[in-house]
């Protein structure tokens, strides 16, 4: 090889190594596009070999429809294993996504021997979250667990204790913390764009179909943990606390389940709630398994209002601001679909650095404690209950 060719190779290699450490160089490498946003291009993707390996546990509608496709845009995360009770489904998905490590629920603990799995994503019915999270932590893996974190606050506390004992990270998959419109809402409220916020509302629900398998387990106490407030009302609660950057100090609630509806023998079909926040704001909300699909937030401030509807869908959320005396304006934000990869990559980073995820287990426990307080209030006809 001629000297000049060697020099050229060394130069290129040197530049490549430097680029991994330098964001400005990675910016230069980023694809050039004019007239279109390029979210994420400032960060170079990891090479496929260096990406953090994930096992997906439970190949149901959300895993197949949203999480697994979300890896396509991930820059630091890749799927290395599937865990399923259905060998045929796991094999088919394994073939489609080139994932060769397949486990079932009986041999799940063998993931301890698989160094290609660093993170485990629990996408099972709620009643199984605690068991599989703790098993994965005992196998030395970091765990991202779907919302709601578990059936009871005792289970949540046991999951956190298991993470601490294993010195591994535990996160709860509150994806809207990674969704552009929700992040923008929080930033605009913090900047005081609508003045002092005194009042908020949050509604989240859908009409549960007892013939649809993913809804069937949600209607049981054993696998659902709770009812509409656990499953979808939690978006309204957690979202409001995220947007307003505050904590709940007191709640009251009443059940709104229709009488004698056979769907709601075990869990509530609806809950109407009110929460006093530490920052002086009051938020009220509803969750339901009986109304048509909605996810909505509204905040009324001293000089305007901010609202989101839809607020927590997978691919399209809208954020509006109405300043006093001006018409309501739609605020453009980036593609909501980026929330899945952003959440995965943030958790991969938390795992690699062994630092707290943005939405850690403690946040999941906090929310279950608040909902348990709401249930206690509803059981006592709406009595005010302090949240510790």
Please list the active-site residues: 147, 235
253 close to 194: Cβ distance less than 8 angstroms: no
Rg of the Cα atoms in the chain:
23
Find residue 300's DSSP bridge partners: 199, 305
Q: Is 45 in the site for ligand NDP (CB under 6 A)?
A: no
Joined together, the tokens standing for residue 276 give: 């006093």
Q: Is 56 in the site for ligand NDP (CB under 6 A)?
A: no
- Give, for 199, the enclosing helix (H) or strand (E): strand 197-205
Picking from 98, 11, 12, 109, the residue whose alpha carbon sits closest to that of residue 48 is 98
Residues in contact with ligand NDP, shown as a per-residue x/- string from 114 to 143 under the rule CB under 6 A? ---------xxxx-x---------------
Q: Up-side HSE of residue 252: CA atoms within 13 Å toward CB?
A: 7
- Among all chains, which residue has been given the structure tokens 């990406």? 51
- Among all chains, which residue has been given the structure tokens 């779907």? 146
Q: Is 147 in the site for ligand NDP (CB under 6 A)?
A: yes
Picking from 70, 15, 74, the residue whose alpha carbon sits closest to that of residue 43 is 74
Number of residues that bind ligand NDP (CB under 6 A): 24
Q: Is 97 in the site for ligand NDP (CB under 6 A)?
A: no
Closer by beta carbon to ligand NDP, 230 or else 273: 230
81 burial type by CB count under 10 A (0-12 exposed, 13-18 middle, 19+ buried): buried
As measured in angstroms, the least distance from the Cβ of 324 to ligand NDP is 34
Closer by beta carbon to ligand NDP, 61 or else 354: 61
As measured in angstroms, the least distance from the Cβ of 278 to ligand NDP is 26
Q: Is 61 in the site for ligand NDP (CB under 6 A)?
A: yes
223-251 per-residue burial string, b: 16 or more CB within 10 A, e: under 16: bbbbbbbbbbbbbbbbbbbbbbebebebb
Residues in contact with ligand NDP, shown as a per-residue x/- string from 272 to 311 under the rule CB under 6 A? ----------------------------------------
**Cα 225 to the center of its chain, rounded Å:** 18
As measured in angstroms, the least distance from the Cβ of 174 to ligand NDP is 8
Closer by beta carbon to ligand NDP, 102 or else 387: 102
| Helices 234-244 and 361-379: angle between axes, nearest 10 degrees | 120
Instruction: Tell me the window of 78-86, 135-143, 252-260, 280-288 that interacts with ligand NDP (CB under 6 A).
Output: 78-86
Closer by beta carbon to ligand NDP, 84 or else 252: 84
Closer by beta carbon to ligand NDP, 291 or else 314: 314
As measured in angstroms, the least distance from the Cβ of 116 to ligand NDP is 20
Q: Is 146 in the site for ligand NDP (CB under 6 A)?
A: yes
- Give, for 320, the enclosing helix (H) or strand (E): strand 319-323
Q: Is 99 in the site for ligand NDP (CB under 6 A)?
A: no
Closer by beta carbon to ligand NDP, 7 or else 209: 209
185 close to 319: Cβ distance less than 8 angstroms: yes
As measured in angstroms, the least distance from the Cβ of 76 to ligand NDP is 20
Closer by beta carbon to ligand NDP, 134 or else 173: 173
- Window 346 to 375, contacts with ligand NDP (CB under 6 A): none
Cα-based angle 358, 65, 131 (whole degrees, multiple of 5): 55
| Helices 361-379 and 153-166: angle between axes, nearest 10 degrees | 170
327 burial type by CB count under 10 A (0-12 exposed, 13-18 middle, 19+ buried): exposed
Residues in contact with ligand NDP, shown as a per-residue x/- string from 194 to 233 under the rule CB under 6 A? -------------------xx--x-----x-------x--
- Taking phi over 0 as left and psi of -120 to 50 as alpha, with beta for the rest, 125 belongs to beta
- Window 155 to 194, contacts with ligand NDP (CB under 6 A): 173, 175
| Contact pick of 58, 70, 171, 364 for ligand NDP (by CB under 6 A) | 58
Q: Residue of minimal CB distance from ligand NDP?
A: 60
Q: Which residues bind ligand NDP (CB under 6 A)?
A: 58-63, 84-86, 89, 123-126, 128, 146-147, 173, 175, 213-214, 217, 223, 231
């Amino acid at each position: 090889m001629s000297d000049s060719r060697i020099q050229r190779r060394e130069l290129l290699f040197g530049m490549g190594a430097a680029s991994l450490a330098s964001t400005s160089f990675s910016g230069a490498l980023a694809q050039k596009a004019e007239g279109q946003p390029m979210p994420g291009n400032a960060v170079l993707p990891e090479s496929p070999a260096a990406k953090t390996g994930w096992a997906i546990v439970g190949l149901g509608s959300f895993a197949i429809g949203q999480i697994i496709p979300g890896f396509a845009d991930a820059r630091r995360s890749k799927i290395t294993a599937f865990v399923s009770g259905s060998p045929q489904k796991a094999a088919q998905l394994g073939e489609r996504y080139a994932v060769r490590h397949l486990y079932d629920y009986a041999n799940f603990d063998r993931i301890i021997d698989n160094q290609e799995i660093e993170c485990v994503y629990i996408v099972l019915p709620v009643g199984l979250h605690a068991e599989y999270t703790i098993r994965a932590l005992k196998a030395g893996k970091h765990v991202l667990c779907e919302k709601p974190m578990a059936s009871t606050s005792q289970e949540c506390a046991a999951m956190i204790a298991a993470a601490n004992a294993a010195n591994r990270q535990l996160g709860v998959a509150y994806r809207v913390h990674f969704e552009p419109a929700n992040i923008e809402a929080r930033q605009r409220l913090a900047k005081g764009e609508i003045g002092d916020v005194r009042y908020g509302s949050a509604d989240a629900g859908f009409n549960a179909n007892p013939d649809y398998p993913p809804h069937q387990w949600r209607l049981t106490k054993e696998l659902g943990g709770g009812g509409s407030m656990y499953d979808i009302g939690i978006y309204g609660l957690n979202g409001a606390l995220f947007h307003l950057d505050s904590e709940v100090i007191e709640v009251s609630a009443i059940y709104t389940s229709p009488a004698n509806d056979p769907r709601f023998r075990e869990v509530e079909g609806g809950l109407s709630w009110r929460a006093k926040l530490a920052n002086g704001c009051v938020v009220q909300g509803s969750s339901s398994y009986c109304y048509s699909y909605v996810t909505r937030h509204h905040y009324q401030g001293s000089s305007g209002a901010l609202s989101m509807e839809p607020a927590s869908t997978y691919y399209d959320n809208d954020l509006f601001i109405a300043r006093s005396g001006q018409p309501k304006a739609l605020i453009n934000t980036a593609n909501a679909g980026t929330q899945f990869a952003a959440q995965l990559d943030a958790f991969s980073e938390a795992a690699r650095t062994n630092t707290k995820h943005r939405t850690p287990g403690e946040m999941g426990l906090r929310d279950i404690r608040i909902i348990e307080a709401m249930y206690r209030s509803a059981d006592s006809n709406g009595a005010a209950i302090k949240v510790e």
